[in-house]
Structure 1
Amino acid sequence: MSKTPPGFDHIDLKLIAALIALIEERSTTKAARRLHLAQSTLSGTLARLRDIFDDELLVRQGRDLVPTLRAEELLLALRPHYEGLAAALGEVRAFNPETDARVFRFGCTDAFALAALPKLTETLRSKAPSCDLSIRIGDYRTLPEMLSSGEVSTVAGYLREDPTATAKTRVLRNAPWVVVRNAASPPLAGLDDFCARPQALVTPIGDLSGFVDDQLRSIGRERRIVLGLSSFSLILAALPGTDLITTVPDFAAYGLARHAAFEIEPCPVAVPPVTNALAWSATTHRDPAEAWFRAAVADAFEAGKSP
């Protein structure tokens, strides 16, 4: 006798979320991490899904789990409906930060963390004492993938473009560029002095050219980059006690200056400000807990964007 086709009496929203994560991640370990579950729990869920749909769904090939044709069909059919349903249901889930327990998973640039993390940590400790925060540091290349994969529910920083087609975004600040130098170094004496000084550049992809260099070339000038750094936090190790200078968004400079004897000066090059934004998954848009967290992130960044 054939099985009854799966329906709402067989499957719930959590099972759909697990199915989507398993098919997209092709790994019970990665899917469990994405859903914040134990791997053993998700292995049991996969067994239940196989029974419901009367299909293997994922078959082992070497170290990988490869989706069956039925699994691929289910993903195409269920994913858009799941996102809309999850967003709608989020509207009815109340959140009390004083008593509720929640893990917020947040991705941001390290420049954003330098500015916002002190206040954000204080807010969670004082206003949401049972909530925990997990931060993943990334850049404009990796943060969109973290968001679309579900590793994090919110990202912030310089994102270059909208992270995903379904993501919600909010611009937080168009930040001007400033020069940071060791406090013992002499102040800048104009553009010629700026171009002559040895400089460090934060460069996620390892090149030694950035926004400032684009503007310098437009006026027939250049500067000497002697050190490329993969993150803003490395400036704390590279600049103290040296004659190096670096050019960074103003909020990053203020965050750095809280940890080292740095001086901050206006950039002598007319560089367009860099846009920093907050972005979040459409599936969490109506979730009161996530909405509260996004507001806390925005407030923390506002508090940390100035000296």
Structure 2
Amino acid sequence: MRLDKLDLNLFVVFDALYQDRSVTRAAERLHLTQPAVSNALARLRQQFDDQLFVRSPSGMLPTPVAEGIIQDVRKALALLGRSLTNNAKFDPANASKTLRVGIHDSLAPMVLPVIAQELHHKAPSIDLHSYYRDRANAVEALKSGDLDVLLDSPAVNAKELRQQPLGESHYVVAMRKGHSLAKRKLDVEAFIKSKHVHVSSRAKGRGQVDIALNALGLKRSISARMQQHQPAADITANSDALWTTPLILLKGTTLIHKPLPFEVPPLSWNLYWHLSAEEDPASQWLRKTIANACSTLLQQH
């Protein structure tokens, strides 16, 4: 294969096909016609003497050859992109693009409005799209470019990612107004005797609160367990159950709260991005904007 005879745009199509596993979706992503994408795939197949993608009931699956070159292709495209943008000035007031944010369900209600307000005032032509992804898929989305940034806990680990701490929020014990404990000091004994609501992204397993209680030789009674925070707030507001949660998550609820009567480490959040975007001026501006907005919000809680 001679590089001087190769159209580098073919690799852009290759990357889109790998991400979308569909000629139709790849064409939509690249704003091309389906015949144009099909033609590019045919040329790639000829260059590599391999099918690269084969049809299946679940979409176009990459062949071993395609799997073997995808990371090098992405690195090359990222390097070329940086070369084109590193010397360019980014003007947010006149920039037109879409910011794709992966954000944990717990943070979205508080953080997204703040980010949207910042963009409205400083970059009115930048659109905000948010997606909830589990951590494994979110990391892959950052690698592929489906996400620009990810806001999540420090549990995310991948050597290809860069990260910046955004802040933390301390745990408190939330309860409804009029609760029998509302005007009393909440001690460990009263905490243990109460029923509890527990939120976790996992279907089973102990959280930070239960780990701390276990270290004290104690165990609480969990009457409701769920993966979303809004139902937890609703259940707590309409029952005598207690909900131990980071303070920031009580914003916008009618719940009152008391200090947790034992020590639990605060919940922290980080901002993540792929190393290929490290020096990109647009990414740098977006990261700074998000970090400033989120840090201010988290420091209040």
Which string of whole-angstrom CA distances, capped at 9 and with x for unpartnered residues, describes residues 259-281 of structure 1? 22121322222112233111001
1:11 to 7, 18, 41: 7
Q: Aligned equivalents of 1:107 and 1:76: distance in 2?
A: 22
Decide whether aligned partners of structure 1 residues 238 and 281 sit closer, same or farther in structure 2, where only a CA change above 3 A counts.
same
1:126 to 117, 121, 134: 121
Q: State the shift of 1:28 in Å.
A: 3.4
Which residue number in structure 1 is paired with residue 69 of structure 2? 74
The equivalences for 1:131-210 within 5 A come to 131-162=126-157, 164-185=158-179, 186-187=181-182, 188-207=185-204, 209-210=206-207
Q: State the shift of 1:118 in Å.
A: 2.4
Which residue number in structure 1 is paired with residue 86 of structure 2? 91
TM-score (norm 1): 0.84
Which residue number in structure 1 is paired with residue 283 of structure 2? 290
Q: Give yes or no for contact 1:143–1:159 (8 Å, CA) kept in 2.
A: no
Decide whether aligned partners of structure 1 residues 144 and 78 sit closer, same or farther in structure 2, where only a CA change above 3 A counts.
closer
Q: Is residue 43 of structure 2 the alignment partner of residue 48 of structure 1?
A: no
Q: Aligned equivalents of 2:271 and 2:142: distance in 1?
A: 11
Q: State the shift of 1:192 in Å.
A: 1.0
Aligned-residue Cα RMSD (Å) equals 2.6
Q: Aligned equivalents of 2:16 and 2:223: distance in 1?
A: 44
SS in 1 for 2:106: helix
The runs of 5 or more residues in structure 2 that have no matched partner are none
Q: State the shift of 1:283 in Å.
A: 2.2
2:212 to 203, 215, 219: 215
Which string of whole-angstrom CA distances, capped at 9 and with x for unpartnered residues, describes residues 88-116 of structure 1? 43313432121221100000112222332
- The number of equivalent residue pairs is 294
Which residue number in structure 2 is paired with residue 59 of structure 1? 54
Which residue number in structure 1 is paired with residue 292 of structure 2? 299
Q: Is residue 236 of structure 2 the alignment partner of residue 239 of structure 1?
A: yes
Q: State the shift of 1:77 in Å.
A: 4.1
Which residue number in structure 1 is paired with residue 262 of structure 2? 269
Which residue number in structure 2 is paired with residue 278 of structure 1? 271
SS in 2 for 1:92: coil
Moved more, 22-31 or 166-175: 22-31
Q: Give yes or no for contact 1:108–1:136 (8 Å, CA) kept in 2.
A: yes
SS in 2 for 1:199: strand
Q: Aligned equivalents of 1:29 and 1:194: distance in 2?
A: 56
Which string of whole-angstrom CA distances, capped at 9 and with x for unpartnered residues, describes residues 2-22 of structure 1? xxx45356423x542331232
Q: Give yes or no for contact 1:50–1:57 (8 Å, CA) kept in 2.
A: no
The runs of 5 or more residues in structure 1 that have no matched partner are none
Q: Aligned equivalents of 1:204 and 1:281: distance in 2?
A: 24
Q: Give yes or no for contact 2:26–2:37 (8 Å, CA) kept in 1.
A: no
Q: Give yes or no for contact 2:12–2:77 (8 Å, CA) kept in 1.
A: yes
Decide whether aligned partners of structure 1 residues 122 and 76 sit closer, same or farther in structure 2, where only a CA change above 3 A counts.
closer
Q: Give yes or no for contact 1:87–1:285 (8 Å, CA) kept in 2.
A: no
The equivalences for 1:105-120 within 5 A come to 105-120=100-115
Decide whether aligned partners of structure 1 residues 143 and 64 sit closer, same or farther in structure 2, where only a CA change above 3 A counts.
closer
Q: Percent identity?
A: 24
Q: Aligned equivalents of 2:227 and 2:102: distance in 1?
A: 17
Q: Aligned equivalents of 2:167 and 2:202: distance in 1?
A: 23
